[in-house]
Amino acid sequence: MTQRLYYYDAYMSEFSATVVSCKEVDGAYEVVLDKTAFFPEGGGQPADVGFINSARVFDVQERDGEIYHRCSERFAPGEDVGCSIDFERRFLNMQLHSGEHIFSGYIHQLTGFDNVGFHMGENTVTVDFNGVVSEEILAQAERLANEAIWNNIEIEAIYPNDDEIEKYDFRSKKEVDGKLRLIRIEDADLCACCGTHVHYTGEIGMVKAVAMQNYKSGVRIYLHAGARALDDYNAVNKSLRAAGALLAAKPEEVPAAIEHLLAKADARKATINELRMKINEMRCENIEEGTEYFADCIEGDSKAAQKYCDMICDKAVIGAVFADDKGEVKYCIGSRTKDVRALGEALNDALQGRGGGKPEMFQGSINCTKERAKEAFIFLMKQNLV
């Protein structure tokens, strides 16, 4: 069985090994070494990547206790090889993983909830808890976790004997097979884990809960730590400064400036709607009393279409309005004296529309331009559907 060097030294990035076997599987080569510092995907932590000689190792998986390096080249059993892992990526994983331990440890201490899911993706780390965590508790756990980082506490791996296990009160993310490995961070956490961690909490840099959402019967929390927390801070800071420059506001004044802008936009929209309604009133003045039908196109929503259609029906026997509303065409057909439902249904059939209504008013939306819809309406009027 492969000797796992990462358990002895999580900081080993280069090592020599001997090839035990090499098999072609799905267009890649699965290489087994006598020893490895490559961490195989497991316990929520992703696999390491790197090189065996000059061949790229793009995935590492564990099956039945054996570690398989998925590799781009074939190796001969017995061959001595030089290996290197992408340590920048591994160190970030160690920062994230260690940060998650401390954070989850404090959530557990403050609420009693267990970490029931853990995933480290390419851009996000998520931890799931089996209970609802309040924003206050979240902030408290984050603060305590960062204080533990500032205190630069040692992170130890301990392997208790079977008769010692009862002495320890540890969190466990999952059942751990074989010999129990506990990761102890004094006062912060004690948890069974097979992953890789930094030696001292100070190396984590910081841990930051960036989002929380309800998930199953508890919550899912998104965490950043180490280099990723700094990258995230830089990205958010850059966005906020860019928004501030656009709004001529300081970063902390951006929300108020946006609120002000939205209120102004709402007031303008109300004025535009008022003016549009006045134009519609003027158009209605030109309709001859008793006209068989009058159809028109406007800019506006379904409410504006309904109001205008109602005004048209004061003059014409049948009114129809087609309105552009955020890229979707809404329509309204009305009459004081006729049943317009057959007309509306025929329009839906002709233009793949949807909608419904009463004898005196039929409303819906259609999948074409308002001008095309108006033409179709005029064509249907000539079919004597009402």
Residues of this chain that bind Zn ion (CB under 5 A): 97, 193, 195
Report, in Å, the least distance between residue 87 CB and Zn ion.
18
CB atoms within 10 A of CB 40: 23
Nearest residue (CB) to Zn ion, 174 versus 283: 174
CB atoms within 10 A of CB 229: 20
Q: Are 359 and 340 in contact (CB under 8 A)?
A: yes
Beta strands in 6-75 (DSSP E): 14-25, 28-33, 35-36, 50-52, 55-63, 66-71
Report, in Å, the least distance between residue 152 CB and Zn ion.
18
Nearest residue (CB) to Zn ion, 97 versus 341: 97
| Cα Dmax for the chain | 100
What is the DSSP code (8-state) at residue 367?
Answer: S
Whole-angstrom distance, CA of residue 43 vs CA of residue 37: 17
Nearest residue (CB) to Zn ion, 90 versus 330: 90
Of 232, 39, 224, give the one whose Cα is nearest residue 126: 224
Helix axes 341-351, 370-381, angle to 10 degrees: 130
Nearest residue (CB) to Zn ion, 36 versus 95: 95
- 3-class DSSP state of 241: helix
Of 321, 267, 269, give the one whose Cα is nearest residue 294: 321
Of 257, 339, 269, 352, give the one whose Cα is nearest residue 303: 269
Instruction: List all residues 6 or more positions away from 360 whose beta carbon is below 8 Å from its beta carbon.
Output: 334, 335, 336, 339, 340
Q: Which residue's Cβ lies closest to Zn ion?
A: 193
Nearest residue (CB) to Zn ion, 28 versus 193: 193
Report, in Å, the least distance between residue 266 CB and Zn ion.
50
Report, in Å, the least distance between residue 193 CB and Zn ion.
3
Nearest residue (CB) to Zn ion, 44 versus 50: 44
CB atoms within 10 A of CB 305: 28
Nearest residue (CB) to Zn ion, 97 versus 338: 97
Report, in Å, the least distance between residue 63 CB and Zn ion.
21
Nearest residue (CB) to Zn ion, 141 versus 193: 193
Task: State the Rg of the chain over Cα.
Answer: 34
Report, in Å, the least distance between residue 155 CB and Zn ion.
9
Instruction: List all residues 6 or more positions away from 98 whose beta carbon is below 8 Å from its beta carbon.
Output: 155, 185, 197, 198, 201, 203, 204, 225
Report, in Å, the least distance between residue 136 CB and Zn ion.
27
Report, in Å, the least distance between residue 227 CB and Zn ion.
18
Report, in Å, the least distance between residue 128 CB and Zn ion.
16
- Per-residue CA distances from 198 to 91, 109, 183, 261, 385 (Å): 8, 22, 11, 47, 78
